[in-house]
Amino acid sequence: MKNQEANKFYQILQKRFSRRINLDLSRIKYFLFKKKIYPNQIEGEIITVKGSDGKNSVVQSLKAIFIENKKKITTFTSPGIISPLDRIFIRDKFISFKKFKNISKKIIKSKIKLTLFEAITLIYIICINKLKGFDYHIVEAGAGWEKDSINLWENPKIQIVTNINLQHLDLFKVKTLAQVVKIKVGFLSKNTNIYIGKQSPYVLKKIKEILKSNPSKKYYYGTDFKIIKNKNKYFYKDKKGKLILKSNKINSDGLWDNIALTIKVARDLKIKKEIILKSIPKISFQGRLEYIKNGKLRKFINPNEDLLLDGGASIKAAKNAYTYLKKIKKPIYGIWAIQKNRYPEKYLKQFKKIFKKIICIKIPNEKNFCSSKKLRNIARKLKIKNEIAKNIPEALNKVSNKQDKIIYIFGSLYTIGKFLSLN
């Protein structure tokens, strides 16, 4: 009920604030100035997380380790998966709908023209502004960094950069990967600790070129820490030694690479390895290669059918998912929806010979999503058997029968959020 109310109220915010991404810090800084809120005076260390893929998984991993270590933390993430309340976590729970609504109304009352992302950021900043006794605030950036609305702290304790790849060219108005790298890491603090996640050789080279003049301490995946995979076992290794990692909830090599980032940060913050190892099995990533065992939507399928969700929308995420799916011996049927700017044909190409059939859907009330007809045409072009469905329940009905199978819902976190809200 709380999530339904929050989602309904969020629709009001979507009408009140521009959903168009307009990277400019002047609006949010003006609001903070008028309200005499000074981010640099907020109590607790700031950890910012930016990149193209893996930001949320890094936030969730750090959150789990810190909570296991009895630290008082907050987190800010984007997007909310089930409801906008998911985006703001304070100590041991998500923000209440009452508080979310009350702060939103105050922001609306200011009559300052803000984007929707800026408004949600301000809700978080107002929430943490007067907190006492908190250890860390883990803040996930939006698409960019230099003019991203969370770039409000001069000297954050830690700045984490996850995998950078070719996304949001239309948003940044650029054409090359080198330009994207510049946007992501070219404006990091010069008085912080920078942790760089696993990158392609080209991106890593560009990052090092850009950060050469940055005097902050820097730690790189591959040089200072890494994941070693031996058959089906995963090991973390850095200069302090090797850790054996165990979890039944993590099904992607890419997610393990992101966990490596958080382990390195935790070890450098002098968190004991016993605490880290105890937290790893508790880490789960909602909507990222996640199996759904219960819920209302399972009534549309048979008990012998496995339901698997993945909201990864980038080419990199598709490749990671393919690596996992190709190991599965059961037939796989897909339910697919994706945004227009996510290179849908190139995205689907990554799943070569994976699907027996795909059901194409469109998420309602989301104008940036491809139509089901367009997705069907892409599937036809790639010679993948396909159908169209009006919604997720109808799609489940179309693929369900007595045969053992994996039903894989994929293409966007918005799609996964819609599923989970229905479930």
Render pLDDT for 287-308 as a digit per residue (tens, 0 to 9). 999 999 988 888 889 999 999 9
Q: What is the pLDDT at residue 171?
A: 73
Q: What is the pLDDT at residue 117?
A: 93
Q: pLDDT tier at 386 (50, 70, 90 boundaries)?
A: very high
Q: By the 8 A CB rule, do 308 and 336 touch?
A: no
Per-domain residue ranges of the chain: 2-282, 290-422
What are residue 372's phi and psi, to 5 degrees? -65, -30
Render pLDDT for 127-142 as a digit per residue (tens, 0 to 9). 999 999 999 999 999 8
Q: pLDDT tier at 96 (50, 70, 90 boundaries)?
A: very high
Share of the chain above pLDDT 90, in %: 82
Q: What is the pLDDT at residue 265?
A: 98
Q: Which two tokens stand for residue 255?
A: 């997610």
In angstroms, the CA 347 to CA 296 distance is: 29
Q: What is the pLDDT at residue 368?
A: 84
Averaged pLDDT, 252-258 = 93
Q: Is the model more confident about 309 or about 80?
A: 309
Render pLDDT for 210-249 as a digit per residue (tens, 0 to 9). 999 999 999 999 999 999 999 889 999 999 999 999 999 9
CATH of domain 2-282: 3.40.1190.10
Checking if the pLDDT of 19 tops 90, the result is no
Render pLDDT for 318-332 as a digit per residue (tens, 0 to 9). 999 999 999 999 999
Q: What is the pLDDT at residue 1?
A: 62
In angstroms, the CA 181 to CA 339 distance is: 23
**Ranges 113-117, 333-337, 338-342, 410-414, most confident:** 333-337
Strand order in the sheet with 45-50: 93-94, 88-90, 73-76, 136-140, 45-50, 158-161, 193-196, 217-220
Q: What is the pLDDT at residue 296?
A: 87
Q: Which of 71-75, 86-90, 364-368 has the lowest mean pLDDT?
A: 364-368
Averaged pLDDT, 25-37 = 94
Q: pLDDT tier at 2 (50, 70, 90 boundaries)?
A: confident
Beta strands 217-220 and 225-230, pairing class: unpaired
Checking if the pLDDT of 172 tops 80, the result is no
Q: What average pLDDT does the structure give for the chain?
A: 93
Share of the chain above pLDDT 70, in %: 100
Asked if the bond preceding 215 is cis, omega within 30° of 0, the reply is no
Say which CATH topology domain 290-422 has. Protein-Tyrosine Phosphatase; Chain A (3.90.190)
How distant, in Å, are the alpha carbons of 288, 310, 331, 335 from that of 327?
Answer: 17, 16, 11, 19
Render pLDDT for 142-168 as a digit per residue (tens, 0 to 9). 887 888 899 999 999 999 999 999 887
Q: pLDDT tier at 21 (50, 70, 90 boundaries)?
A: confident
Q: What is the pLDDT at residue 22?
A: 75
330-361 as b/e, with b when 16 or more CB fall inside 10 Å? eebbbbbbbbeebbbeebbebbeebbebbbbb
